Amino acid sequence: MAILKAVCQKQNLPTRFQSIRITAFGSKCVFRRAVPANAEAGDCFGAGALIFQPKDVTEVNTQTRDAFIYGAGADLNITRHVFIRAQYRGFAYNSPTWDRAAFSGFERVTHRSEPSIRFGYRF
């Protein structure tokens, strides 16, 4: 991290991006598993993309990175229509280089983790 900070300072870039919007989209296959009657579980994998859009730095450009998507989750039925979903989703992707020659050697595969718990409603 110290090397990356030194490169940012040398290139006159901020060492912290205060606001980066990351948009994720993709397609995945879901495999359902047999569990007790009031629950459903599943695994997923697929392909997608992450779009990195820095909002407070004008010196760098928006970049898109291909991503491998994987995860697992479970739905616990509260009623016939209402359920609670616990889910883990991960993305494996190349980190953005912000189109800077100084960052080209830092391009590497990294990981983004998104655990979540939410309520849902089935019609």
Q: What is the pLDDT of residues 23-70, one digit of tens each?
A: 666 766 667 776 777 888 888 888 888 888 877 776 777 888 888 889
**Residue whose token pair is 């609670």:** 84
pLDDT per position as a tens digit, 51-63: 888 777 767 778 8
Closest CA to 52 of 94, 1, 9: 94
C-alpha 13, offset from chain centre: 24
* DSSP-assigned states of every residue in 22-54: EEEEEEEEEEEE---TTEEEEEEEEEEEEEEEE
Q: pTM for the full model?
A: 0.66
User: Bridge partners of 56?
Assistant: none
